[in-house]
Structure 1
Amino acid sequence: MQNQKKRKLRIRYALAFVMLLGIEVLIALFVHDAFIRPYVGDVLVVAVLYAAVRIVIPDRCRLLPLYIFLFAAMVECLQYFELVRLLGVADNAFLRVLIGSVFDWKDVLCYGAGCILLGIYEWKRK
């Protein structure tokens, strides 16, 4: 891929990253419902990760949605083993929110749904 095309893609992914991260922050701060925050937020978090990786690797990683899902599922499994407590950061609100502290299979399903959408995006893009 040409450098100029890669640069344009990186800029698009950087803008998408900033926009999606902003939406995630707004959801975390202002939405306290039973659907948007727990489900839409979890679907969007994999899109945020995808955009962040695509800034660095704008092409040639067609299995990226799968890798993102595996990473997200691994983080969720670490929550099952109470990683924040094991690391001694349970009192740090920022790290507790960033790492997560409660395992839930529904989160894994939301990550899967988000990654399926990303896979469809990858397929349509090619």
Structure 2
Amino acid sequence: MSTAVIRAFISRNPSRKSFFIYAVLLFLTEVLIALYAPAGFIRGFVGDVLVVILLFCMVRAVVSPVEKAAAKNTGDGIKRLFQTPWLAFAVLLFAFAIEFGQYWGLVDKLGLGGNRLARIVIGSHFDPLDLVAYFVGYLILLGCYWKSRQP
């Protein structure tokens, strides 16, 4: 990634449009990895790291984080979820839930075992290394957030 892209990603106030562009670029990267990368580190680990960042960018393209002052008001607890660190954590938990769903055979239990798209999107094979990859993606998001907060 170029320095300008990294600066835009970690800027203090990136726009929804920026996150939409990041999400599209990450999605295309994921597709290229799925189509052309051989099984191994890139396909098995880097793709899973990027999927957490992709999900984060997709959510941020739809919702903007709430200002801290507004989030401190009573009744605004749910709005705190959309603050960057909390949203990154929510995405991590979602990724973990999907992975554990694979462990428990969620696709088959939902009756989607014969649906190829469902097997690709939800997955059908549990791998503990995927949990590590998701956590690395989460750490990258936190690193970008903390980097954006430095003067």
Unpaired stretches in structure 2, ≥5 consecutive residues:
1-12, 67-82
TM-score by length of 2: 0.76
Aligned partner of 1:44: which letter? L
Runs of 4 or more above 3 Å deviation: none
Distance apart, 1:58 and its partner CA: 2.8
Unpaired stretches in structure 1, ≥5 consecutive residues:
1-5
Q: Cα RMSD (Å) of the superposition? A: 1.6
In the alignment, structure 1 residue 22 sits paired with structure 2 residue 62: no
Aligned partner of 1:85: which letter? D
In the alignment, structure 1 residue 124 sits paired with structure 2 residue 147: yes
Aligned partner of 2:55: which letter? L
The equivalent residue for 1:80 is: 103
The alignment of Structure 1 onto Structure 2 pairs a total of residues equal to 121
Task: Report sequence identity in percent.
Answer: 39
In the alignment, structure 1 residue 56 sits paired with structure 2 residue 79: no
Aligned partner of 1:50: which letter? F
Aligned partner of 2:27: which letter? L
Aligned partner of 1:101: which letter? S
The equivalent residue for 2:124 is: 101
55-64 or 43-52: bigger deviation: 55-64
Higher helix share: 1
- Cα deviations across residues 32-70 of structure 1 (Å, max 9, x unaligned)? 221100000000000110100111223231311111111
